[in-house]
Amino acid sequence: MIEAETPAAGRAAKVLTVSDGVIAGTREDRSGDALAAALAADGYDVIERRAVADGVDSVAEALRAMSTGFAGLVVSTGGTGFTERDLTPEGTRAVLEREAPGLAEAMRLANPLGRLSRGVAGIIGHTIVLNAPGSTTGCVECYGAVADVLPHALALLAGQRLH
């Protein structure tokens, strides 16, 4: 139970879209747009958006770069499913220092199709990383499933003792 809600206002967030189609220019980044809008609506300052091709190395490199010297939230969208190119969880695990399985589990419960997500969540330095599905609705629902606890988690990660 969270004793006191810490407002998200003033918190920084970044969005990483993982999509071969977006990189090739054959798809619009609608899930990245939807996720950025949801984060902004919750008071986050979305300071960076990036898109990379599917793949372990591309995801790992992007997350490493996005979390270096950053304290806040990075949410990826895409690459969490069952196809051979869905490698976002593997790329994320390659750079996570600690996993946060409770966040990933809660995100999977947001929608019955969430059970098909292999997304992970965890910590790199002072950054919380969440993998959300590439569907426009799915990424917003998964983020929304944990949005209420993220300000508290970010405050703890920043060294605040809220208990």
The tens digit of pLDDT for each residue in 55-109 reads: 999 999 999 999 999 999 999 999 999 999 999 999 999 999 999 999 999 999 9
Q: Which residue has the tokens 């939230």?
A: 73
Q: Return the CATH architecture of domain 11-157.
A: 3-Layer(aba) Sandwich (3.40)
- Dihedral over Cα of 104, 108, 49, 150: its sign: negative
Closest of 144, 85, 84 to residue 114, by C-alpha: 144
Instruction: State if pTM tops 0.75.
Output: yes
> What whole-number distance in Å separates Cα of residue 7 and Cα of residue 15?
20
How far lies 152's CA from each of 15, 108, 138, in Å?
20, 20, 23
Q: How confident is the model at residue 10 (pLDDT cuts 50, 70, 90)?
A: low
